[in-house]
Amino acid sequence: MCGRYTITDPVEAQAALAPVLDDRTPIPDLPPRFNVAPTQMVPIATNRETRVLELARWGLVPSWAKDLAIGAKMINARSESLGEKPAFRDAFARRRCLVPADGFFEWQRAGKRKQPFFIHEIGRRPFAFAGLWDRWKQPDGSWLISFSIVTCAPNALVADLHDRMPVVVAPVDWERWLAREPLPPEALSDILAAPDPAGWLAEPVGEYVNKATFDGPECVDSRPAQGSLF
């Protein structure tokens, strides 16, 4: 799964997405994020009539949901069943999005504790997760935009830490992923795979990231793992 991620350089992350955005669309002025957690508002690139970067709530709330509570269970969508699950089926066909990021976290059990790892490309370059979005009409009549991050089987780097990882969409596939026309699942299946582990790092970090309300740079500071984890 993917339960925490980072956008430590929002300007660079948003600039990287510029080729697939409408250049007339204002870009949100955002602070660095070192510990993005579910239910928070973060930027996503949506496939509306014009490509826009807008703030959305992490945890997809389907249009037919009775309340927001379901979103807490919808932070991730398994790539293998996107075309089958009622909550994701229509979004997969028509409402795909890109989620800008420059790293994510996973935890590995080490005795009675869990060691967090910060996973990122070498050089900390920004990238984009595959996402699905939907909108839900709130009691006050306004629309809430929300999203899920698509996950897949892990690559060799992440497999030692977890049995799932987020799908990272290569820039060459951004246009196809954001296409508005409905596409059969098989037309996108090649995108829904783990990235090549070459060029990526998984670094042990301190436990600041364990607290969802802490969002400082200490979350990504490299720390030696305690004991033998591999």
Identify the residue with better confidence: 49 or 145.
145
- Looking at every residue in the chain, the average pLDDT score rounds to 91
Q: Which CATH architecture has domain 5-220?
A: Alpha-Beta Complex (3.90)
**Residue 46 corresponds to which amino acid?**
T
Query: Per-domain residue ranges for the chain?
Result: 5-220
The Cα–Cα gap between 212 and 219 comes to: 10
pLDDT at position 104 over 50? yes
pTM summary value: 0.93
Residue-level pLDDT at 225: 52
For the beta sheet containing 103-110, the strands, ordered from the edge strand earlier in sequence to the opposite edge, are 33-36, 5-7, 103-110, 113-121, 200-204
> What is the rounded average pLDDT of the residues 43-72?
92
Q: Pick the catalytic residue from 12, 49, 97, 106.
A: 106
The Cα–Cα gap between 181 and 157 comes to: 34
> Could you give the count of Cα atoms lying within 13 Å of 158 in the half-sphere of its Cβ?
28
In eight-state DSSP terms, residue 208 is G
pLDDT at position 40 over 60? yes
Identify the residue with better confidence: 59 or 113.
59
152 catalytic? Reply is: no
Identify the residue with better confidence: 201 or 18.
201
Residue-level pLDDT at 62: 95
> Could you give the count of Cα atoms lying within 13 Å of 224 in the half-sphere of its Cβ?
3
pLDDT at position 227 over 50? no
The model's pLDDT over 110-124, given as tens digits with 9 standing for 90+, comes to 788 899 999 999 999
Identify the residue with better confidence: 49 or 160.
160
Residue-level pLDDT at 224: 59
Sign of the CA dihedral with 97 first, then 76, 195, and 89 last: negative
The model's pLDDT over 63-98, given as tens digits with 9 standing for 90+, comes to 999 999 999 999 999 999 998 888 899 999 999 999
Residue-level pLDDT at 228: 38
Residue-level pLDDT at 226: 53
Q: SS in 3 state form for 55-108?
A: EEEECCCCCCCCCHHHHHHCCEEEHHHCCCCHHHHHHHHHCEEEEEECEEEEEE
The model's pLDDT over 169-213, given as tens digits with 9 standing for 90+, comes to 999 999 999 998 877 778 899 999 999 999 999 999 999 999 999
State how far the alpha carbon of 183 is from the alpha carbons of 48, 179, 215, in Å.
16, 8, 38
E strands, 178-224, in order: 200-204
- Whose tokens are 């802490």? That residue is 214
54 catalytic? Reply is: no
pLDDT at position 143 over 70? yes
Percentage of the chain exceeding pLDDT 90: 74
Residue-level pLDDT at 27: 66
- Whose tokens are 């009622």? That residue is 86
